[in-house]
Structure 1
Amino acid sequence: MSILEYSISDHIALIKLNRPEARNALNPEMVVRLADAFKDARDNEDVRVIVLTGEGSTFCAGADLGELIPIISGAKEPKDEWDERVAENRNLIFEALLRDFDTEKPVIAAVQGHAIAGGLEILQGTDIRVAGPDLKFGVQEVKWAIFPGGGSTVRMPRQMPYAKAMELLLTGDLILSDEAKEIGFLNYVVPADEVLNKAMEIARKIAANGPIAVKAIRASVRACSGVEEKEALKIETKHANPVFATEDAREGPRAFMEKRKPVYKGK
């Protein structure tokens, strides 16, 4: 069985980290497969939403210190095709962490295990997050005198209160699911056996909407983040105007008037 499962159904791409015996740590093969899956989902016109989850008690423990880091640092010679691809393109790790790569489509995280270090950094690249109870969240790199370079010093203060982000970044402490939801980092905390179902429920709602509008709204929100309001409104207009010229934008109001379900084609 593959250490990463990837499937597409009803416009939803489901990506599952499947290396539970290693807490879904990112070794070279996982990095390559994950980066490739994100790229395929971005480029596949049938995909409208991405759901990311992990098998086992840990969503993702971050980089595999024994397998990935030696390849990135050059301390270890590549032994297979996965090692070689990472050695040739070290930016693949940041693509797998959704740091230097944009899926252009919404990513929903179904968190069924602890998300620590690189696991939390992947979550920061997602748009909507559903988690089980009593899970641990945080980045602990500072405890080992290293830097959480997967985007945490940029994204955490934007995605949760500044003071709380600084506390977590500088102490390396972990918080539980309920607190993560309370500070706005998670959308939902549900019973463990309902996490994936809840994520898929949200995915189906998004997939039923106009795909061009969904992509444009997401792109506008991201492009406007941290931008002064007057300039941000100009950016919003640039994303909004093309949407109104699409076939889907004519189909939506027409379906509303005819009291039927719209049929969107992404055109």
Structure 2
Amino acid sequence: MGGTEHDAGHGAGHGTEHLTVRREGATLVLTLNRPEAKNALSLPMLVGLYDGWVAADEDDSVRSVVLTGAGGTFCAGMDLKALAGKGMEGEQYRDRLKADPDLHWKAMLRHHRPRKPVIAAVEGYCVAGGTEILQGTDIRVAAETATFGLSEVKRGLFPIGGSTVRLQRQIPRTHALEMLLTGRHYSAAEALSIGLIGSVVPAGTALDKALEIAEQVNACGPLAVEAVKASVYETAEMTETDGLKSELERGWPIFATEDAKEGPRAFAEKRPAVYRRA
């Protein structure tokens, strides 16, 4: 899907031992790659994730990002063994963390919002830190066998990746509080019913569905797509009056672009639009 698959080139992120990067057409696919630990978060994974988000935003040929996990699992959260003092892999990346103490929060999309749309493709466990990262994505696809939950309180911990703030803004507060205060796991069907995810597909097909959605995004005008995403998040906490004013400030400049002329012209000529980010 999405054209010929090839390794991400210059400026598209190179990954680490726990995070692989590849291209599918105009989509950058970031894969959490530590299946033996159910893709529990590690320093190499966090560094690779952060670099992937930055690379996607800096490369104009990338129009969307898909985030998924290897080995039939999305992410089982923080490495609790490492948290207990057993040591965390990837000591060679410590200098990156020292240079940017906020790097792990940016990697988990707590302190960073990519300007390109991010689509999550979830198989298996997406719990604790996995569900926290999920809240930073824009569109969410899950296999029918996926499992969600914020289990921190069961371990005497706090979901400090943003969940006490974001979850109640993304799903009804009663559901957010039940998830946060019980630490229980949710099936994909239940996660869909409360609005945590957008679609459920057969096991093993979440990535295919995410890439299909990404192709639809990629076929749209990239300047328009990025402005629409920015407007949605910018106006989320505004009053309606302020939000509508902000929307005009974001939206009107799009009509002056060459892409805005190309879209209607291509429609009239019954051909696919060729957008040039101009």
**Shared fold (TM-score, shorter chain, > 0.5):** yes
| Match status 1:140 vs 2:151 | yes
How far did 1:12 drift? Answer: 0.5
Amino acid at match of 1:203: A
Could you report, residue by residue, the CA deviation over 1:178-222 in whole angstroms, capped at 9, with x for unpaired residues?
010111111111111221111110000000000000000000000
2:172 aligned to which of 140, 144, 161:
161
Amino acid at match of 2:273: P
How far did 1:159 drift? Answer: 1.1
TM-score, normalisation: structure 2? 0.90
1:41 aligned to which of 29, 36, 56:
56
Distance 1:154 1:79, change over 3 A: closer
Q: Distance in 2 between matches of 1:208 and 1:179?
A: 32
TM-score, normalisation: structure 1? 0.93
**Which runs of structure 2 are paired with 1:99-110 in the superposition (5 Å)?**
99-110=110-121
How far did 1:164 drift? Answer: 0.6
Amino acid at match of 1:10: G
**Which runs of structure 2 are paired with 1:1-267 in the superposition (5 Å)?**
2-67=17-82, 80-267=91-278
Q: Distance in 1 between matches of 2:184 and 2:228?
A: 34
Could you report, residue by residue, the CA deviation over 1:148-197 in whole angstroms, capped at 9, with x for unpaired residues?
11110111111111101011111111211001011111111111122111
CA contact (8 A) 2:76 2:129 kept: yes
CA contact (8 A) 1:78 1:84 kept: no
Q: What is the SS of the residue equivalent to 1:148?
A: coil
Could you report, residue by residue, the CA deviation over 1:3-39 in whole angstroms, capped at 9, with x for unpaired residues?
2110123211011111000111111111111111111
How far did 1:78 drift? Answer: 9.7
**Structure 2: segments with no counterpart, 5+ residues:** 1-15
CA contact (8 A) 2:22 2:29 kept: yes
Could you report, residue by residue, the CA deviation over 1:99-148 in whole angstroms, capped at 9, with x for unpaired residues?
10111110000101211111001110001111111321111111222211
Amino acid at match of 1:128: I
CA contact (8 A) 1:131 1:190 kept: yes
Distance 1:260 1:160, change over 3 A: same
Amino acid at match of 1:245: A
Q: Percent identity?
A: 47
**Aligned-CA RMSD value:** 1.9
User: Which consecutive aligned stretches of 4+ in structure 1 deviate over 4 angstroms post-superposition?
Assistant: 75-79
